[in-house]
Structure 1
Amino acid sequence: MQREATRHRHVRVGDRDLFVREAGREDAPAVLLPHGYPCSSFQFRRLMPALSDRWRTVAFDWPGFGYSDTPEPAGFGYDFDAYADVLTDVTDVLGLERYALWLHDYGSQISLRHAIAHPDGIAALIIQNGDIYEDVLGPKYATIKAWWADKTDENHRPLEEAVSEEGFRNEFVGEVSGEIASRLPPDLWKLHWPLMDTPVRRAVSVGLMEKLEQNLEWFPRYQSYLRENQPETLIIWGPQDGYMPEESARAYYRDLPNAELHLLRDAGHWLLETHFDEALPLVRNFLSRMLR
Structure 2
Amino acid sequence: MVADAAVHHRTVEVDGITIFYREAGPPDAPVVLLPHGYPSSSFQFRNLLPALGDRWRAIAPDHPGFGYSDTPDPRRFAYTFDAYADLLRRFTEALDLTRYVIYLQDYGSQFGLRLAMAAPQRVAGLVIQNGDIYEDQHGPRYAPLKRFWREPTDEGRERLAAAVSEEGFRGEFLGELPDRLVDRVSPDLWRLSAALLDPPRRDALVRLLADQGSTLAWFPRQQEYLRHHRPPTLIVWGPHDGYMPEGAARAYLRDLPDAELHLLDGGHWLLETHLDEVARLVRDFLGRVHP
* TM category, shorter: over 0.9
2: distance between equivalents of 1:150 and 1:218? Answer: 20
1: distance between equivalents of 2:268 and 2:228? Answer: 28
AA paired with 1:160? A
Residue 198 of structure 1 is matched in structure 2 by 198
AA paired with 1:106? Y
Mark the CA change 1:64 to 1:2 in structure 2 (over 3 Å): closer, same or farther: closer
1: distance between equivalents of 2:93 and 2:46? Answer: 23
AA paired with 1:192? S
2: distance between equivalents of 1:178 and 1:3? Answer: 31
Residue 214 of structure 2 is matched in structure 1 by 214
1: distance between equivalents of 2:206 and 2:72? Answer: 16
AA paired with 1:214? S
Secondary structure, counterpart of 2:211 in structure 1: helix
Secondary structure, counterpart of 1:234 in structure 2: strand
Which has the higher mean CA deviation after the structures are superposed, 108-117 or 206-215? 206-215
CA-to-partner distance for each residue in 1:57-107, whole Å, 9 max, x for gaps? 001100111100111001111111111111111111112110000100001
Residue 179 of structure 2 is matched in structure 1 by 178
Secondary structure, counterpart of 2:144 in structure 1: helix
Residue 226 of structure 1 is matched in structure 2 by 226
The answer as to whether partners of 2:234 and 2:285 remain within 8 angstroms in 1 is: yes
**Two-structure CA RMSD over aligned residues (Å):** 1.2
Residue 264 of structure 1 is matched in structure 2 by 264
CA apart distance, 1:2: 8.3
The gaps in structure 1 that reach 5 residues or longer are none
1: distance between equivalents of 2:157 and 2:20? Answer: 31
2: distance between equivalents of 1:118 and 1:109? Answer: 15
The answer as to whether partners of 1:143 and 1:158 remain within 8 angstroms in 2 is: no
1:121-160 equivalences under 5 Å are 121-160=122-161
Q: How many residues of Structure 1 are paired with residues of Structure 2 in the alignment?
A: 290
2: distance between equivalents of 1:8 and 1:170? Answer: 28
- 1:34 matches 2:35: yes
1: distance between equivalents of 2:228 and 2:152? Answer: 36
AA paired with 1:142? A
Mark the CA change 1:69 to 1:155 in structure 2 (over 3 Å): closer, same or farther: closer
Mark the CA change 1:271 to 1:2 in structure 2 (over 3 Å): closer, same or farther: closer
The answer as to whether partners of 1:3 and 1:51 remain within 8 angstroms in 2 is: no
Which has the higher mean CA deviation after the structures are superposed, 201-210 or 160-169? 201-210
1:46-85 equivalences under 5 Å are 46-85=47-86
Residue 15 of structure 2 is matched in structure 1 by 14
Secondary structure, counterpart of 1:10 in structure 2: strand
1: distance between equivalents of 2:155 and 2:88? Answer: 35
- 1:244 matches 2:247: no
Percent of residue pairs identical: 58
2: distance between equivalents of 1:134 and 1:157? Answer: 25
1: distance between equivalents of 2:128 and 2:175? Answer: 22
2: distance between equivalents of 1:174 and 1:255? Answer: 28
2: distance between equivalents of 1:235 and 1:110? Answer: 17
The gaps in structure 2 that reach 5 residues or longer are none
2: distance between equivalents of 1:174 and 1:211? Answer: 22
2: distance between equivalents of 1:103 and 1:252? Answer: 13
2: distance between equivalents of 1:5 and 1:152? Answer: 47
Secondary structure, counterpart of 2:185 in structure 1: coil
CA-to-partner distance for each residue in 1:102-156, whole Å, 9 max, x for gaps? 1000010111111111111110000010010111111000011111223333333
CA apart distance, 1:177: 1.3
